[in-house]
Amino acid sequence: MTTTEHAPPAPRDGQQPGRYGRETDATYERAGFGAAVRRGTRPVLVVVDLTRGFTEDSFPSGADLTEVVGATTELTEAARAARVPVVWTAISYTPAEAEGRSVTWLDKAPGMRALLEGSDAVALDPRLPRRPEDHLVVKKGASAFFGTSLAATLTGLGCDTALVCGATTSGCVRATAVDAVQSGFPVLVPRECAGDRAQGPHDAALFDIQAKYGDVVALSDALAYLSGLPAREAVR
């Protein structure tokens, strides 16, 4: 897949120096990790699993992600202003899947069996600005690409870069970022637009994404990137 160069600003601030010690920083630098990704001119915004079961702490699988929802709303509105397509994802299981053994992941994470189709837990957070023209991907696993038509959809839309955000950072966001770059899409993850149940896994996932799979950037950087895109017609 061809991506047009769109020069990124410097320096990157996704990987905080010294978070895991100077020895770790030196090891990763020696290995050649952490280079900046190229930024295309036809990005897509992929909002991963900001459903009530993850954004509200009243659900066992969730946490209070109010700030993440707010930041993602700002990013979504900026994407719309730039005529960038928006894709939402949600995990949802049929009763047969939730109660049976066909989804092996649910043996490891049985709490996810509560994400039943039609339930409040799998509904997108009502504070998010979803529109009828947005795409919705319903998935069964962590990655928004695995077992779905997302890669084909992004190719059909002519996208060349993926802005990935949502929940949880250490689970579905990271898995989606990994599969996005493996599918040929450079990845940007706006830090303020990703959330998790605990700080440690969140920080570790952002470190790993920045080192190997994409650029972890500030929300302000992502907004500037979107506002600087060349004018384009709306993509459906």
Which residue's structure tokens are 């384009």? Answer: 232
- Using DSSP's 3-state secondary structure scheme, residue 102 falls into coil
Q: Which of 159, 165, 172, 193 is catalytic?
A: 172
Look at residues 12, 14, 7 and name the one whose alpha carbon lies nearest to residue 216.
14
b/e sequence 141-177, b meaning 16+ C-beta within 10 Å: bbbbbeebebbeebeebebbbbbbbbbbbbbbbbbbb
Q: Is 233 exposed, middle or buried (0-12, 13-18, 19+ CB in 10 A)?
A: exposed
Take residue 209 and report the two structure tokens written for it.
């994404």
Query: Strand pairing of 135-139 and 161-167?
Result: unpaired
Concerning whether 159 is annotated as a catalytic residue, the answer is no
Which sequence positions are flagged as catalytic?
Answer: 172
